[in-house]
């Protein structure tokens, strides 16, 4: 399918906070109650529309376990957006946010949009982290904040789409160097301004779209 832009996201956060569930909810619209540990990095993609433009989101859902940190770190660099997830029912996942944020800032490109997500908002009775705390943390670190539930799908869509909007705005503002794929943004085949001089590119790409997925 053809797209105007391809944005790459990474989802990070402690193990068990619901990263994989968020992805599954976003891509497949379903919820998996059994915890299937992510071993390595899982991957999902979905098309969204922003400003009447087709945007393909490619999302890396990383393993939260410490053991996989070295593997997952390498994924920061190619991402334009990150969902930093904690579990509102487990304070320690909130406490680890700074570590995650440092890690992300260190290994990603500086323009990466980071969305802070307090997941499992459906488990209000077991809440350990107040919404205000999350908001405060986000304000302090310049993040966008949102509470979601991968179970009920509340705010899941919004979390991904708002991040994309943010990235899109940054592109419009010229903050992102869209020609550097390391930023996690790719221009769709037919929109590619990189090689407009190539004689065939216009005719070939226009109808063909991306070969992948």
Ligand X SMILES: Nc1nc2c(ncn2[C@@H]2O[C@H](COP(=O)(O)OP(=O)(O)OP(=O)(O)O)[C@@H](O)[C@H]2O)c(=O)[nH]1
Residue ranges in contact with ligand X by CB under 6 A: 15-21, 33, 35-38, 63-65, 119-120, 122-123, 149-151
Q: Closest approach of Cβ 100 to Mg ion, in Å?
A: 14
Q: Is 58 in the site for other proteins (CB under 8 A)?
A: yes
* Residue 25 contacts Mg ion per CB under 5 A: no
List the Cα angle 127/128/129 in 5-degree steps.
Answer: 100
Residue with tokens 């221009």: 187
**93 touches Mg ion by CB under 5 A:** no
Parallel, antiparallel or unpaired: strands 144-147 and 53-62: unpaired
Smallest distance, Å, CB 128 to other proteins?
26
Stretch that binds Mg ion, among 14-22, 101-109, 156-164, 165-173 (CB under 5 A): 14-22
Smallest distance from ligand X to CB 151, Å? 4
- From the list 36-44, 49-57, 72-80, 158-166, the region that binds Mg ion by CB under 5 A is 36-44
Give the long-range contacts of residues 190-194, CB within 8 A, separation 24 or more: 190/2, 191/4, 191/5
Phi, psi of 21 (to 5 degrees): -65, -40
- Tell me the C-alpha distance between 87 and 72, whole Å: 20
């Amino acid at each position: 399918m053809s797209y105007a832009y391809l944005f790459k996201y990474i989802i990070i956060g402690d193990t068990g906070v619901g990263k994989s569930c968020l992805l599954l909810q976003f891509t497949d619209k379903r919820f998996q109650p059994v915890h299937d540990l992510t071993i390595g990095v899982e991957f999902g993609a979905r098309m969204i529309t922003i400003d009447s433009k087709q945007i393909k989101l490619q999302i890396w859902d990383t393993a939260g376990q410490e053991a996989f940190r070295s593997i997952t770190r390498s994924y920061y660099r190619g991402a334009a957006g990150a969902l930093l997830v904690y579990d509102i029912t487990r304070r320690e996942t909130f406490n680890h946010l700074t570590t995650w944020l440092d890690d992300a800032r260190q290994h990603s490109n500086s323009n990466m949009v980071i969305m802070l997500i307090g997941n499992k908002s459906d488990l209000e009775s077991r809440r350990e982290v107040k919404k205000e705390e999350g908001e405060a943390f986000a304000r302090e670190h310049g993040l966008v904040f949102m509470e979601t539930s991968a179970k009920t799908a509340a705010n899941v869509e919004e979390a991904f789409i708002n991040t994309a909007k943010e990235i899109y705005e940054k592109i419009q503002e010229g903050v992102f160097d869209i020609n550097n794929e390391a930023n996690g943004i790719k221009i769709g085949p037919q929109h590619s301004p990189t090689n407009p001089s190539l004689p065939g590119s216009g005719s070939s790409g226009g109808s063909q779209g991306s070969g992948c997925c």
